[in-house]
Amino acid sequence: MQLQARIGRPASADRAADRSRPTRMTLSLLTAVAVLSVCVAVARAPTATVDPDLVRVIRFMALIKGGFALAALAGCFWRLARPAGPWRTPIYVVGPPLMAAGAIGMWSLHNLQFAAAGLHLGLFAVLAAALTDPDFLPGLSRLGRRRR
């Protein structure tokens, strides 16, 4: 404790980090479970015949949206290092796994409507939570106040 006090890190930062570990662990585990379960479900499902050009377009979209899911996972993992609001925490924990599962479902071309619904529901939920969260990017709120 004395070393931390000397280097300027407050003890409250350690308490906040201890409280955030379960939510960050839950986010990581849910994402892993979602990805693995969708991969298993896709491997067992029968394939359908689809036009090759349409397959390329859908897979390219799934690749882009998988990148969005990865960015949302990183952003939510970073945000959950500090306490979030009571309705934002579940969204930060459930949104990225839903997006990842949807992206994998779109890539596999099985149940596209469910994959797209899950992906977009997770994306919009994370965006809504992040854009209304004043602590997500605290520097932006200060920047907006200076312009007025």
3-state secondary structure of 83: coil
In the chain, which ranges are E strands? none
Q: Chain centroid to CA 114: how far?
A: 18
Instruction: List pLDDT tens digits, range 70-92.
Output: 999 999 999 998 888 888 999 99
pLDDT exceeds 60 at position 1: no
Instruction: List pLDDT tens digits, range 48-59.
Output: 677 889 989 999
